[in-house]
Amino acid sequence: MNHKDVQPPILLILSGPSGVGKDAVLSRMRDLGEPYHFTVTATTRTQRNGETDGKDYIFVSQAEFKAQMEQDGFLEWAEVYGNYYGVPRDQVKTALQRGKDVIVKIDVQGAKTIKKLAPNALYIFLAPPNMEQLEKRLTARMTESSGSLKIRLETATKEMKSATWFDHVVINHENQLDLAVAEIQYAVKIARLNQIKTSNPDLI
Ligand code: 5GP
């Protein structure tokens, strides 16, 4: 029997420090044809090389962001490293109402905010194997000025300490993306078996 016949959908919140590899994990899950709605966050940050509007982020102006914010259009929004990010409420709500599992990629402060709205979502913290690896990844990405790199590393150190309240911590080891994805799939499987991690779209 298809689990969707008997169980409400799962809302999976994927969090972790900047540079840990959340996008790589999500991209791999997409390639594998995982049947989630992959929520696309709206942001005022400048588009990076290689990013696609509407797929990686919905790139909007400050005015557009503010208008959507005032219409209560975001499930959660925050200023992160000087830019605004918001999770479009209708995307999440509509997908859950249709019985589709949903993934939201978000920073740790955002995950905490969503926890208040959706305590039964499945919270997964993606962690680097160590801080040196994280610094290496952020440096290799070369999108951060050295000031911003320093801030991201300091924030990451604080975020690592708050990993304890998540349902699962998944380490994203170097060159082991499939292992991280498998651990996430396993966590979802356990959540389904336990039938406690279901999200009511009416509360979203
Ligand atoms: P980046 O600009 O490097 O893609 O993302 C910077 C940080 O913003 C990352 O830690 C990412 O998880 C976080 N982020 C992305 N989307 C959202 C969102 O909708 N809400 C919040 N609070 N953070 C987000």
Share of the chain above pLDDT 70, in %: 96
What is the per-residue DSSP string for 87-139? EEHHHHHHHHHTT-EEEEE--HHHHHHHHHH-TTSEEEEEE-SSHHHHHHHHH
pLDDT digits (tens, 9 = 90+) for 16-60: 999 999 999 999 999 999 999 999 999 999 998 899 999 989 999
Least confident of 10-19, 137-146, 148-157: 137-146
Atom 4 (ligand 1): residue with closest C-alpha?
A: 18
Domain presence at residue 89: no
pLDDT digits (tens, 9 = 90+) for 150-180: 888 999 999 999 889 999 999 999 999 999 9
Domain presence at residue 170: yes
Q: Which amino acid is at 157?
A: T
Euclidean distance between CA atoms 20 and 40, whole angstroms: 18
pLDDT level of residue 141 (50, 70, 90 thresholds) = confident
Q: What is the mean pLDDT of residues 98-114?
A: 94
Point out the ligand 1 atom lying closest to the alpha carbon of residue 45.
2
Say how many domains are in the chain: 1
Q: What is the mean pLDDT of residues 177-194?
A: 94
Domain presence at residue 154: yes
Domain presence at residue 62: no
Helices 146-161 and 131-141, packing angle to 10 deg? 150
pLDDT level of residue 6 (50, 70, 90 thresholds) = low
Q: What is the CATH number of the domain that holds 147?
A: 3.40.50.300
| 84: number of Cβ within 10 Å | 20
**Domain range for 18:** 3-39+99-203
Largest CA distance in the chain: 53
- Ligand 1 pocket test, pick from 77, 80, 144, 166 with the greatest ligand atom count within 8 Å of Cβ, gives 80
Task: Write out the two tokens for 179.
Answer: 């292992």
